[in-house]
Amino acid sequence: MVLVTGGAGYIGSHTCIALHEAGFDFVVFDNLSNASQESLFRVQKIIDRPISFVQGDIRDKEALRSVFTQYDIDAVIHFAGLKAVGESVQQPLEYYDNNINGTIVLCQVMQEFGCKNMVFSSSATVYGDPHTTPIKEDFPLSATNPYGRTKLFIEEILRDIFVSDTSWNIVLLRYFNPVGAHKSGLIGEDPNGIPNNLMPFIAQTAVKKRDYLSVFGDDYDTVDGTGVRDYIHVVDLAFGHVKALEKISNIKEVLTVNLGTGKGYSVLEMVRAFEKASGKDVPYQIAPRRSGDVAKCFADPSYAFETLGWSAQKGIQEMCEDSWRWQSQNPNGYAKD
């Protein structure tokens, strides 16, 4: 049985489907601080079977103990965490407590129950401002905000756990920019309030929830001056977790892997691709650079293929089509109105 912390969230809900398709049984543990249980009802509809869900906080040792007592958990996919960069600057203690303390409590309970297999959601943010692209796993690490620092610290903590006890099997998956949604249009990304990320902002502009997109900077050293990122379809990303689980008992190190496509797209390229996929206009205005942004960030994904036999399959058009299907069918996300 696989414990999926944060399984009601964007990436977690898609991973539940991938786990089901690969024949893994799982239980979701989520405090619903940034998700709605509706996502799990929709997952149930897609996979056509009930799923086990426990509402709880990873900082709550007793709640975790009771899950480990009730279910025979042999691996954990650990998505649970807060992820808004700007909010992390305003509320660093909340981020350190939720993400770092939460992970420590989770690992303590795993150790107590002899469960030593963990797949952790890290992020390309740990590369800070990369000196060159594409980014390889052995590039220097740094962080520019408290959110990024929680990922860096957790990576270090997990490495220390492995050093102290090499019977742990740990995979650190460094995601690039997850976008897109399940083909059904039933589940997708449902940000609170005004989206910070590009793709949901574009989608909400196309559906006329927002007047226009602000393009943060057009004077970067990139193809058209706008920022370049490695957008990866969330269904491809979800499958990467299945591959990690399938390999986890054979790894003899803390396996650290980029999950990206290896291709970078600029903001304006994304706008055009989305307009093509949706048949809608996405008006935009050039705005000043956003502080902390880097010009270019895209992965060298070859190590993921070498170690996990995983590579991204879905291209930019499919990412935009699937985001659009989700956005147009659910203009208010999971909210019922």
Single residue of 20, 26, 31, 75 touching ligand NAD by CB under 6 A: 31
Please state the separation of Cα 313 from the chain's center in Å.
17
Q: Which residue is nearest to ligand NAD (CB)?
A: 9
Sole window of 126-134, 162-170, 194-202, 240-248 interacting with ligand UDP (rule: CB under 6 A): 194-202
Q: Answer yes or no whether residue 30 interacts with ligand NAD by CB under 6 A.
A: yes
CA separation for the pair 276, 2 (Å, rounded): 39
267 binds, among ligand NAD, ligand UDP, none (CB under 5 to 8 A by kind): ligand UDP
The closest alpha carbon to 81, from 65, 58, 104, 64, belongs to 58
- Is 147 one of the annotated active-site residues of the chain? yes
The residue (of 179 and 215) whose beta carbon lies closer to ligand NAD is 179
The closest alpha carbon to 271, from 211, 316, 326, belongs to 316
Single residue of 229, 243, 263, 325 touching ligand UDP by CB under 6 A: 229
Single residue of 71, 153, 216, 305 touching ligand UDP by CB under 6 A: 216
The closest alpha carbon to 310, from 251, 261, 267, belongs to 261
Q: Token digits for 93?
A: 């203690």
The β-bridge relationship of strands 231-233 and 2-5 is: unpaired
| Closest distance to ligand UDP from the beta carbon of 143 (Å) | 13
CA separation for the pair 57, 331 (Å, rounded): 29
Residue 275, number of CB atoms within 10 A of its CB: 16
Residue labelled with tokens 């574009």:
202
Footprint on this chain of ligand NAD (rule: CB under 6 A): 5-6, 8-12, 30-35, 57-59, 79-83, 98, 102, 121, 123, 175, 177-178
Enumerate binding residues for ligand UDP (CB under 6 A): 177, 196-198, 201, 213-216, 227, 229, 267, 290, 293, 297
Q: Which residues are catalytic?
A: 147
